[in-house]
Structure 1
Amino acid sequence: MSNKITTLFQIQYPIIQAGMIWNSGWKLASASSNSGILGLIGAGSMYPEVLREHIQKCKKATDRPFGVNVPMLYPNIEEIMNIIVEEEVKIVFTSAGNPKTWTAWLKERGVTVVHVVSSVKFALKAQEAGVDAVVAEGFEAGGHNGREESTTLTLIPMVREALEIPLIAAGGIATGQGMLAAMILGADGVQVGSRFVASIESSAHQAFKEEVVSAKEGATHLTLKELAPVRVIKNKFYNDIVELYKTSPSIDDLKNLLGRARSKRGMFEGDLEEGELEIGQIAGLIHDIKPVAQIVEDMLSEYEVAKQNVQTIF
């Protein structure tokens, strides 16, 4: 399966394993890359030296390309970028910030840069900044999201119409059928997050993985738009947010409720009541926890079957 994305990253299949906080350590990234897709380490939940350790372990675990996802709103960004270059990581996905800030600096050092966006407006800004590709992420996605609430079904063709560089679709994609649909809409590849949370190699707590598997339609909601929009599973913490909104809270009120390390508490430590449990709407289609290699194999098989089924429709 060869196209712009496989050529850009030198991978077998145009699938990117999303670099999710508290889920995407070196084990998940290396297993993904060893399966022929692009694995990403999620730097957002790592102190700089922890990130360096994960990069070094990933390099020992795979001889295939892998990258690092860097949310630019996090502290220590300069140290993180310097570590990435020092460790000779050649692919960086940036998000939650202005792509102009780091794109030129990274590209001058031989790094391929991809930026995550949630609208046509920001996709064009990323292209103008010189990124090599864009991830357009729909409203269905888990974790931090855009404020526009554009679904993947509408976002991908609109971004494709406006963009000249390669396009990666994200948000609500966990199957081969979803992958085919995104590519028919104009994507050159897909980024998959939630499906890889429920993998053996994910660094998420087992209790969180099981919560994802048990999630049904309507189990998640996008909230905290005044801070940074985030899609979470409805639990006690979510219900506390709902109750607080009834009082017309200030930004400080919301920040006080959120507190510190809420996502670590939920996804990494397994507190299903008080933790922030970030996952996409597609969780309702995730029914088991299995190895990354099997997830990739299943997606590719589903993709091929879906292509054949589409041909029988017309």
Structure 2
Amino acid sequence: MLTTRFTEALGIEHPIVQGGMMWVGRAELAAAVSEAGGLGIITALTQPTPADLVAEIERARKLTDKPIGVNLTILPSINPPPYDEYRRAIVDAGITIVETAGSSPEPHMEMFHEHGVKVIHKCTSVRHALKAEKVGVTAVSIDGFECAGHPGEDDIPGLVLIPAAADALTIPFIASGGFADGRGLAAALALGADGVNMGTRFMCTTESPIDRVVKERIVEASELDTNLIFRPLRNTARVAKNAVSDEVVSILAAGGQFPDVRELVAGARGRKVFERGDTEAGIWSVGLVQGLIRDIPNAGEVVHRTVDEAERILRSRLALFAEPEPVAAGA
């Protein structure tokens, strides 16, 4: 049993989280992770309305009675989703764990605290983690440069970011970006984290709702097969390397602006990748850790073997430093 401050704070068995992922964090996957003792997370904005989110939560509860979280990503937008309505739906559905990302969770904290909701805030720097701690989140999920999606603009990898966060924070935190197995979990714990968040690894499981062709692409790909788009716009995102993301990088490197790539990066095109299995239909998020993923197991197996491997590694390393047995006199 790898009991940590994070597992105790959230009431879960294993220090493993399946973070919220657009179009991926649905009931079957979240429930499978939670049922195995981790924390599965449903992505709120994958659901078209707050009512649909409530229905998705109910579907998950028919699959497990263990804790399930909901991700609410808050980003500036010309036509923003009705965040307050989604927040109300989360509370009314009885969810007690929320993962926030994007903008500061501060505007939402009063209501969440009022209803006993524990907040895990995702961030990409120690300074943002400290701000989240200050506004009262229960825990932080800190993303290193290796992660899929938005790694921030500091380019700090986990090997430095995790111990830096451990030195600065007093609340529990989990490490995200670059984790796929027990080696990563053991390393994160050794660096001071209280658990790990795995996204790409859980994308590539049988319960993940994306097309199997995409999962097979992840298995085949290496750690070299991603692109960093939007770098000149200081809104960096790590996505799969394909013809579309290559074109986006080329246009922006030549001085183009967002309107020049808007059609290429449209979310509707990315959704087609996951739903139709056409990996060249648009841009889609994946992490460097795809280079360590070599199979498509069920989500519960990922949880159990990650914990088992981490325990074996930690015990074997500790054994190297065990006190030697005293030599009997006359031996």
With normalisation by structure 1, the TM-score equals 0.95
Of 185-194 and 49-58, the range deviating more from structure 2: 49-58
- After superposition, what is the alpha-carbon deviation per residue over 1:36-69, rounded to whole angstroms, capped at 9, x for unaligned? 1111112232212332221110111111101001
* Counterpart position of 2:329: none
Alignment partners' CA distance in 1, 2:279 and 2:37: 33
Alignment partners' CA distance in 1, 2:39 and 2:146: 22
Q: 1:236 aligns with which of 243, 259, 265?
A: 243
Matched, 1:211 2:217: yes
Question: Which amino acid is 1:253 matched to?
Answer: D
CA 1:84–1:240 in structure 2 vs 1: closer, same or farther (change >3 Å)? Answer: same
Matched, 1:28 2:22: no
Question: Which amino acid is 2:55 matched to?
Answer: E
Structure 1 gap ranges (5+) = none
Q: 2:260 aligns with which of 235, 253, 262?
A: 253
Matched, 1:53 2:60: no
Matched, 1:146 2:152: yes
**3-state SS, counterpart of residue 258 of structure 1:** coil
Q: 1:71 aligns with which of 70, 73, 77?
A: 73
Alpha-carbon shift at residue 168 of structure 1 (Å):
0.8
Contact (CA 8 Å) 1:220, 1:233: kept in 2 or not?
A: yes
* Counterpart position of 2:105: 99
Structure 2 gap ranges (5+) = 322-331
Contact (CA 8 Å) 1:267, 1:276: kept in 2 or not?
A: no
CA RMSD of aligned residues (A): 1.5
Alignment partners' CA distance in 2, 1:60 and 1:187: 32
Alpha-carbon shift at residue 308 of structure 1 (Å):
3.1
* Counterpart position of 2:132: 126
Q: 1:87 aligns with which of 77, 90, 93?
A: 93
Matched, 1:278 2:285: yes
Alpha-carbon shift at residue 313 of structure 1 (Å):
5.2
- After superposition, what is the alpha-carbon deviation per residue over 1:67-100, rounded to whole angstroms, capped at 9, x for unaligned? 0011111622111111101111110000011121
Alignment partners' CA distance in 1, 2:235 and 2:212: 26
Larger radius of gyration: 2
Alignment partners' CA distance in 2, 1:202 and 1:219: 21
Question: Which amino acid is 2:68 matched to?
Answer: F
Of 219-228 and 103-112, the range deviating more from structure 2: 219-228
Alignment partners' CA distance in 1, 2:227 and 2:257: 20
* Counterpart position of 1:305: 312
Alignment partners' CA distance in 1, 2:204 and 2:296: 5
State, as a whole percentage, how many aligned pairs show the same letter. Answer: 37
Q: In the TM superposition, what are the counterparts of 1:5-44 in structure 2 within 5 Å?
A: 5-44=6-45
* Counterpart position of 2:272: 265
With normalisation by structure 2, the TM-score equals 0.91
CA 1:84–1:38 in structure 2 vs 1: closer, same or farther (change >3 Å)? Answer: same
Question: Which amino acid is 2:107 matched to?
Answer: T
Contact (CA 8 Å) 2:18, 2:30: kept in 1 or not?
A: yes
Of 140-149 and 150-159, the range deviating more from structure 2: 140-149
